[in-house]
Chains A and B, each alone.
Chain A
Amino acid sequence: MTSTYVKDARPAVDQEPAAGPANRRPRARRVKDWLTAVSFTLPALLLFGALVLAPILYALYVSLFNWGGFGSPEDYTGLDNYTRLIDDPVFLGDLWRGLLLVLFSIVVQLPFALAMAVALNQKLRGRAVYRMLFFAPYVLSEVITGVLFSMIFAPDDGLADRFLGSIGLDGLGGLWFADQDTVLPTLFLVMTWKYFGFHMMLYLAGLQNIPHELYEAARIDGASAWHRFRYITLPLLGPTVRISAFLSVIGAIQLFDLVWVISQGGPDHASETMAITLFQFGFKRYQIGYASAISIALFLISLVFALAYQRFVLRRDTEGALTNMRANR
C-alpha cells in the first residue's frame, strides 16, 4: 500500500492536478472559480489560523519581552531571551540529550524494529499475534505507560529490582529513573518498548511491497540469506527506513508526556527535554517571555531539520509534502 501508493501518486504531484477547464475560462469566471476553490479550505484555514498559526505568532511576539504573564507585555528586551537561551546550560543540555536519544534510536531501536519486521515477515506460527502484541503499546497513552513503568522501575520495590534480586543479579538493579546516569537509558528502554512496534509496522508494510520474484531469483543464484537482506531488502526498504528515522528524530525532539509523568525531567535535569524546560518556565516560573523563546527555538529546530532532511535525504525517495513547494514554484 505504501511505497507503490506513493509511486502512483508521484506523477500527479509534478503536474498541476486535473481541473483543466478552469484555465481556459474568462477572467471573471476564473476569479469565481478561485473563490469556490478557496472557500473549501476556509473551515480548515480558520481553525488552523486561529489555533495553530496565531499562537505561534503570538509566542514569537512575546519571546521578545521579559514578561511574567500579567498585564500586557511591556518590557521589550529584543533578542535577550534568545541570547540567554544560547548560554543556558539546561537548554544546551536539552539539545545534547535530544541528540543522545536520536542516536540511541537510530543505532538501537530502529535496527531492532527492522530485525523484528524481517522476522515477522516470514511464515511464522502465531505471527499475527506477535505483530499485534508488539504494536499494542503504541496505542496506549504516554501517561499510562509512564505511570506503569515508574512503578515497575521503582528502586528496590519495583518489578525490575525484585526480578533481578530473585535471580541473584541484584547488583544489576539499581536506581533506574532515580539516578542522573541511569535515567536516560531507562527512559530509552521504555521508549523502545512503546515505540519500536510502530517502526516495525512501517517496515513490514515496506517489506510487503518487495516483489517475491527478486528473492526467488536471488535464491536460484545461490545468494545467502544475509546477501539477500543486504542487496535486496535493505536497498528496497530504503525509503521506509529513511522516513522512520525521520519520525523517530522528530519524536525525540518533541518528547514531553512520557518524561513529564516519569521524572519531570529530573534528577537534576538529567532527563529534561526542550518541551519540559519550556513547560517549567512557562507554568512554574511565570517567565512567559523566556518560555516562548524556547518554544520558538523548538519549532525552528524541528522545521529546519525537517526541511533539511527532506531536501537532502528524502529527495530521492518521495516527493514529500514539503518539497512540493520547490517542485511547483
Chain B
Amino acid sequence: MPASDFSRRRFLGAASAAGLGAAALTACGGSDSGSGKDSSGRTIVEWWNIQTTEPSKTIWPERAKAFEAKNPDVRIKLVTLENDAYKSKMTALTSSGKLPDIYHTWGGGVLKQQIDAGLVEDLTGPMESMADTLVPASVKAYQFDGKTYAMPFDIGAVGFWYNKALFKKAGIGAPPTTWAEYLDAVKKLKAAGIAPIALAGKEKWPGMYYWAYLSMRIAGVDGLQKAADEKDFTGDAFVKAGERLKELVALEPFQKGFLGAAYSTPNGEAAAMGNGKAAMELMGQWAPTVQADAGKGIGKDLGFFSFPAVDGGAGALTDVFGGGGGYAVRKGAPQAAADFLKFFMTAESDRILVEKANMIPVVKDAASALTDPNLTAVSDMLAKSTGFQLYLDQAYPPAVGQEVNDSVAALIAGSKSPDQVARSVTQVFKSQ
C-alpha cells in the first residue's frame, strides 16, 4: 500500500520535527491560534489559572477587567481549571509544545523541564524594575541560573490546620510539637470518637505532604536536597520517615472513606474539616478558604501549628515545606502578557488580592494588608523559617514527583512498605 507508507513516513518526519522544534515553534508563536486577535482587533491573552473557589474565582476576572480598562487593545481571556484537571492538561500541553500565554506554575522541576524544552519566556528583563518590591522568598522557586521565569502571586507553607473545639473536646491542651505528642493527640481524638485527620486519598498529593515533612524532620532540608542531587532516597532517614508515617496510619486516623475522597469536593478533605467532621488536616495556606467553600467553614475554631519535630532528627521545627503560586509566560506570547503580570503584582493590586482573595502578600508594600489571623500565622512561620523545601511533586521531575505521590499513597493504603517507597522513588529518579 503505497498510500499508507507515504503517510507514515510523512508522519514520522513531521512528528520528529515537532520534537526537535520546540524552539522552532516559538518562531511563529505570535501567530499561534492561542494568541490571535478578537473580532474588534484586541490582542487576546489567555490566562490559565486554577482559582476555582471563591473568593478568588470572582477576584481574578475582576483584575483582568481592571487591566482591560487601562489597556483597551488587550483582552484577557481566563481559562479556569480545577487543580487536578489542570495538571493533566498541562502535561499534555507541555509535551505538545504549546503552552497558554500565561499559566499557573509552582516552579521547581516541572517548570525547569518546560524551560529546558524552550517553552518559557525569560521574565528577568520585564521584572527587573520590580525585583526589589517582591519578597525574595516568593520568587525563589521560579529562578534558575540567575534568571526569573515566573511572577509570584502567592507564597505559603504547609502545616496542620486544626479544629480547636474538637481538640478541646478530646482533652488536648496545646498543639503537639513532637511526633510522640502528635501520635498521642491522634489517640486522644480517636478515643473521643472524633476522626483525627482529614485526608484526600484519591488525589495523592495531600498524602505526600506527610512523607515529605517527616523526611525533612528526620533528614533535614539539606539531607533531602542531597538525596535529590544524588538521586538516592534509600538512605536510612527516608525509610524511617516511611516507618513514622506507617505508625500514624496504623492508628487509623483518617476520616471514613478517605481513600476515595478528593480534596475540594463535598465529601472531600476540605469539606470534612470545614464541616467539623475531622480535627485536622495537613495543608497549605489556601486551606481555610477551601474549607469554607467546600464545607461551611469553622471560623474562629480554626488554628494552625507547625509539623511536629521528630526526636533525633536532623531537621528543625522551623524548617518549612510548601510553595506558592506564580504565573509563567510562554515563549513568544504577546508583550501584553508580561505587562498584565506586572500590573497584577503592583502593591495596589496585591493589596486587593490579600484583602479579598486571602493571598499572602508577595509585594513587600502590601504586607500591611494582611489581617487574617490564620494567614498571619503562616506568614509568620515563613518569616521565621530556617529552611525551605518546595512541594516534592513540583520540585522533582514529573515522573519522580508522581512516583513519590503514588508510592506514599500505596504506603498509606498499606500495599507498600517504607523500604519499598524509598526504593521505588530512587529507581524512578535514577532513570531520569
Contact = CB atoms under 8 A, between A and B. Distances in A.
Query: Within the complex, are A and B direct neighbours (CB within 8 Å)?
Result: yes
Most chain B CB within 10 A, of A48, A154, A286, is at A286
Interface in B392-423: 397-399, 402-403, 409-410, 412-415
Nearest to A77: B431
A183 interface: yes
Contact of A45 (B1, B257, B398): B1
A193 interface: no
Contact of A178 (B4, B12, B258): B258
A257 interface: no
B202 A266 contact: yes
A57 B8 contact: yes
Interface in B96-113: 113
A200 interface: no
Interface stretch (B169-177, B242-250, B259-267): B259-267
How many A residues are at the interface, by size bracket? 35 or more
B95 A286 contact: yes
A45 B3 contact: yes
B259 A180 contact: yes
Interface stretch (B16-24, B335-343, B349-357): B16-24
A265 to B, nearest CB: 10
Interface stretch (A64-72, A217-225, A320-328): A64-72
B19 to A, nearest CB: 4
A183 B399 CA distance: 26
Most chain B CB within 10 A, of A46, A54, A57, A268, is at A268
Interface in A260-307: 263-264, 266-269, 280, 283-288
B16 A72 contact: yes
A227 to B, nearest CB: 47
A146 to B, nearest CB: 13
A169 interface: no
B259 A268 contact: yes
B256 A156 contact: yes
A177 B91 contact: no
B117 interface: yes
Interface string A131-157: 000000000000000000000001111
A266 B204 CA distance: 10
B39 interface: no
B260 A183 contact: yes
Given A49-B3, A178-B261, A180-B259, A284 B88 contact: yes
B191 interface: no
A45 B20 CA distance: 29
B399 A54 contact: no
Contacts of A210: none
Given A70-B19, A178-B261, A266 B201 contact: yes
Interface in B134-158: none
Contacts of A317: none
Contacts of A58: 11-12, 15
Given A53-B8, A70-B22, A155-B260, A268 B415 contact: yes
B256 A155 contact: yes
Contact of A267 (B3, B4, B260, B431): B260
B116 interface: yes
Contacts of B202: 178, 263-264, 266-267
Contacts of A50: 4, 7-8, 11
Nearest to A70: B117
Contact of B399 (A179, A267, A287): A287
Nearest to A156: B256
Contact of B266 (A157, A180, A266): A157
Contacts of B399: 68, 285-287
A53 B258 contact: no
Contacts of A48: 4
Most chain B CB within 10 A, of A46, A176, A267, is at A267
B92 interface: yes
Contacts of A264: 202
Contacts of A263: 202, 260
A70 B259 contact: no
Interface of B: 1, 3-4, 7-8, 11-12, 15-16, 19-20, 22, 87-88, 91-92, 94-95, 113, 116-117, 201-202, 204, 256-261, 266-267, 397-399, 402-403, 409-410, 412-415, 431-432
9 contacts: A46-B7, A57-B12, A70-B22, A70-B113, A72-B19, A175-B260, A267-B260, A268-B259, A268-B412
Interface of A: 42, 45-46, 48-50, 53-55, 57-58, 61, 66, 68-73, 154-157, 175-180, 183, 263-264, 266-269, 280, 283-288
Which 4 pairs of residues, A with B, have the shortest CB-CB distance?
Answer: A178-B260, A49-B4, A267-B259, A155-B257
